[in-house]
């Protein structure tokens, strides 16, 4: 899917991480990519992250999937909402919704969550720590947007949901199929279905916190440190008070810590690995039978195209005369034709051609890793 009219430059300048924006149906031709029954089917599968939010006696309650099929038959007329995470991993037409938003770098993109609600269904007023584009797929939903929130914003006491206690809307819109609401990080928002068969596609983005990065990067470096790399002071001099930690000692201690974290090249390699890890590490996407390079070459020669697995994250970092390719947490150093191939694969879409030896080896490794695959025949 592509936009027919949307000024990306104007949006980034005026709205990205600044203020919400309602975008009335910008698509060339909007078509809802997933049926409600298909979404419910995904919510019944093991390994698929799903939630059901029901409303009884005016209070929201959360259930986590997978769900038995009969659970949906037991839902009454009280408002309820089904949410299924990372639907783009399983449904190519949902994964295609990400393409128009790739003016934001791929490493920032998280996944597409899909929600279905009956009349009055919603998850309550809340705020997120990341950007989100809310695409109306089926039916209508009323969105109210409020002010920016933070850790000090009062929340309703609830075991499972982080709901804003005193929500006051500053914007109020009803979205029709194909309409999009952009909400920057921290902005309060509340969506309520108007009528049944309301489906919303949430294209979410990643924003690692400083604490998350510091903790993970530090832990990575610590794992590689030698036990005998310790504080030393061969130039120790007499100090007037034995109980004092002197400025000289603190400078040396502080320097030890900073020096262990200051290697930018090591950080780049680590972050490529860290950021490209699969969202659901327990899911094994590898093919049942591993392929040999000559088999891959034969299929490409017959005109079969390779496609990226939407569940695997692709990214590269320029490194001297080549690139570091990161896919699903694995780093591969690529040069020459393999480097060009790595850039092409990260650009997305299908790939076909007649690769040389190094490029063919890269393709074969990625196929056997489950990151690339030939489209299955009907």
* 334, 325 Cβ separation under 8 angstroms: yes
Q: Tell me the mean pLDDT per 10 residues along the chain, length 378.
A: 94 98 97 97 96 87 95 91 97 96 96 97 95 98 97 92 94 98 98 97 96 97 94 92 95 96 96 95 89 96 94 96 96 96 93 94 97 79
The C-alpha atoms of residue 341 and residue 345 are separated, in whole angstroms, by 6
Q: From the CB of residue 373, how many other CB atoms can be counted at a distance below 10 Å?
A: 15
**Tokens in use for 301?**
């020669």
**Tokens in use for 101?**
């938003």
DSSP string, 93-138: HHHGGGGGGTTS-GGGEEEEEEEEE-TT----SB--SS-EEEEEEE
Supply the pLDDT for residue 378: 45
- For residue 315, the 8-state DSSP code is E
DSSP string, 234-291: TT----S-TT---HHHHHHHHHHHHHHH--HHHHHHHHHHHHHS-SSTT-----SSPP
Supply the pLDDT for residue 349: 83
Q: Sketch out the chain's domains with CATH numbers.
A: 8-205 (2.60.120.650), 210-262 (no CATH), 293-374 (3.40.366.30)
Q: Which residues pair with residue 332 across a beta bridge?
A: 325
The C-alpha atoms of residue 242 and residue 238 are separated, in whole angstroms, by 9
Q: What angle do CA 198, 117, 173 make, to 5 degrees?
A: 55
Q: Which residues pair with residue 187 across a beta bridge?
A: 148
Give the three-state DSSP class for 323: strand
User: What is each CA distance from 231 to 55, 220, 351, in whole angstroms?
Assistant: 59, 20, 53
Supply the pLDDT for residue 271: 98
Query: Of the candidates 204, 180, 166, which has an alpha carbon nearest to the alpha carbon of residue 20?
Result: 180
CA 187 to chain centre: 19
Supply the pLDDT for residue 377: 54
Q: Which helix (H) or strand (E) holds 142?
A: strand 132-148
Query: Of the candidates 334, 327, 331, 299, which has an alpha carbon nearest to the alpha carbon of residue 313?
Result: 327
Dihedral of CA atoms 333, 335, 340, 341 in degrees, nearest 10, equals: -50
- Name the packing angle between helices 357-369 and 336-347 (round to 10°): 40
The C-alpha atoms of residue 68 and residue 369 are separated, in whole angstroms, by 32
pTM of the model: 0.92
The C-alpha atoms of residue 316 and residue 378 are separated, in whole angstroms, by 33
The C-alpha atoms of residue 358 and residue 258 are separated, in whole angstroms, by 39
The C-alpha atoms of residue 328 and residue 280 are separated, in whole angstroms, by 10
Q: What angle do CA 266, 268, 271 make, to 5 degrees?
A: 105
């Amino acid at each position: 899917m592509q936009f027919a009219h949307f000024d990306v430059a104007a949006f980034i300048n005026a709205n990205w991480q600044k203020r919400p924006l309602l975008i009335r149906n910008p698509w060339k031709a909007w078509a809802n990519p997933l049926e409600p029954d298909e979404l419910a089917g995904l919510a019944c599968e093991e390994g698929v992250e799903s939630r059901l939010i029901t409303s009884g006696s005016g209070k929201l309650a959360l259930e986590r999937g997978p769900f038995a099929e009969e659970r949906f038959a037991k839902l009454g007329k009280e408002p309820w909402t089904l949410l299924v995470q990372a639907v783009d991993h399983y449904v190519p037409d949902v994964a295609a919704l990400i393409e128009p938003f790739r003016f934001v770098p791929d490493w920032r993109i998280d996944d597409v969550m899909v929600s279905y609600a009956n009349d009055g269904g919603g998850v309550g007023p809340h705020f997120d720590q990341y950007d989100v584009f809310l695409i109306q797929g089926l039916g209508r939903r009323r969105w109210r947007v409020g002010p920016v929130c933070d850790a000090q914003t009062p929340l309703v006491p609830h075991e499972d949901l982080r709901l804003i206690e005193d929500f006051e809307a500053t914007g109020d819109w009803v979205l029709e199929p194909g309409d999009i609401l952009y909400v920057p990080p921290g902005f309060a928002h509340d969506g309520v279905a108007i009528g049944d068969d309301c489906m919303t596609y949430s294209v979410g983005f990643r924003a690692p916190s400083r604490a998350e990065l510091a903790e993970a990067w530090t832990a990575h470096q610590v794992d590689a440190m030698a036990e005998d790399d310790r504080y030393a002071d061969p130039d120790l001099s007499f100090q007037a008070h034995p109980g004092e930690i002197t400025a000289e000692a603190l400078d040396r201690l502080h320097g030890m810590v900073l020096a262990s974290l200051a290697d930018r090249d090591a950080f780049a390699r680590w972050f490529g690995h860290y950021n490209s890890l699969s969202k659901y590490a327990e899911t094994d996407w590898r093919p049942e039978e591993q392929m040999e390079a000559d088999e891959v070459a034969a299929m490409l020669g017959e005109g079969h195209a390779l496609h990226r697995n939407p569940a695997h994250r692709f990214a590269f970092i320029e490194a001297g005369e080549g690139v570091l390719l990161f896919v699903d947490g694995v780093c591969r150093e690529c040069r020459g034709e393999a480097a060009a191939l790595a850039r092409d694969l990260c650009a997305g879409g299908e790939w076909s051609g007649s690769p040389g030896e190094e490029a063919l080896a890269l393709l074969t490794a990625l196929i056997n890793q489950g990151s690339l695959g030939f489209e299955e025949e009907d």
